[in-house]
Amino acid sequence: MPIATLSDYKTRLNSFNREIIPFNFNTTSLGLFMQGNILSVPAYTAPAAAPGAAPTNSTNGFLQFNNPTSKTLLLIGAELNSASPASLTLIDVLSHLAGLSGTITGVQGTSSAALTRYTDGIGVKLALSIHAQIGTTATTFTLSYTNSSDVAGRQSPLVAIGGTTLRDIGRFIPIPYFGDDIGVKSVQSTTLTATTGTAGSFGFTFYKPLAGLVIKGTQNETQYCNLINGGLSNTAVIPPNSALTFIIRTASIASGNLSGHLILTEVD
């Protein structure tokens, strides 16, 4: 059963039976925080070329946790410490691939590993992720994909890539759906409008947003994010084997660490 009362929620936040998922990302070496509203994800070992892989909680670079034996894991809070105010989106990475070129302007055919969580594709989102630096020439791209209704050949709107801000490792560029689509299952190809000037390596990430967190306090001061203090958008079910990481947004340059832990509890 879900958490039914405020008293139960408070008890679970402070219970010795809660599960803690720790993390610590060095923002200087990973280049997570960039000036302006640029989205990044913590760097991890680049996935293989198409069809890539479907990562899990045991994949290097993602948050490690134990799968429950019978109950359901529920995110109920977090304790965060950052060198700069930031907003975070906790996501489950469902499938990812790399190996596409920033200089090929024709159609680049690709494929993707099958989804193993949220297999109906509903609510699954796509982003272009950069794994080796591409060029300084700003351009755009489109993506052909299969939506959650199994309609292939859906074409995304044009999305910006390259230039001075959308070229570095860790950049995470969300891709809008075509029309009234509500999810995605696979990708077929991508097309650059023009070369970025450097091949680098980019690919696509399938992900499911789970919850939002906000760090708005003093630098390097622990912030308690939950439904009582604020800073947490919602509780969220964490499916077994989820490959958890964050999308990070900040409006200032900072150095130091983003660290803390997620607080989870088991529910029937």
Q: How far apart are CA 178 and CA 187, in angstroms?
A: 13
User: How far apart are the C-alpha atoms of 12 and 159, rounded to whole Å?
Assistant: 43
pLDDT digits (tens, 9 = 90+) for 123-162: 999 999 898 999 999 999 999 999 999 999 999 999 999 9
Q: What is the domain count for the chain?
A: 1
- pLDDT tens-digit series, residues 33-77: 333 345 566 656 678 888 999 999 999 888 989 998 889 999 999
Whether residue 134 is contained in a domain is answered as yes
Interval 71-98 mean pLDDT: 89
Q: Which two tokens stand for residue 162?
A: 């390259």
Note whether residue 11 is domain-resident.
no
pLDDT band at 85 (very low <50, low <70, confident <90, very high): confident
- 77 belongs to a structural domain: yes
Q: In this structure, is residue 1 part of a structural domain?
A: no
Domain that holds residue 208: 18-267
Residue 248 in domain: yes
Please check whether residue 132 lies inside any domain of the structure: yes
Q: What is the pLDDT of residues 210-234, one digit of tens each?
A: 999 988 766 678 889 999 999 999 9
Inside any domain, residue 8: no
Spatial CB neighbours of 234, under 8 Å, sequence gap ≥ 6 = 211, 212, 227
The answer, yes or no, to whether residue 101 has pLDDT greater than 80, is yes
232: Cα within 13 Å, side-chain hemisphere: 21
Express as a percent the part of the chain with pLDDT over 70: 88
Instruction: Tell me what the pLDDT averaged over the chain comes to.
Output: 87
User: Do 96 and 208 touch, CB atoms closer than 8 A?
Assistant: no
In a domain, 228, yes or no: yes
Give the residue among 180, 192, 42, 223 at the shortest CA–CA distance from 108: 192
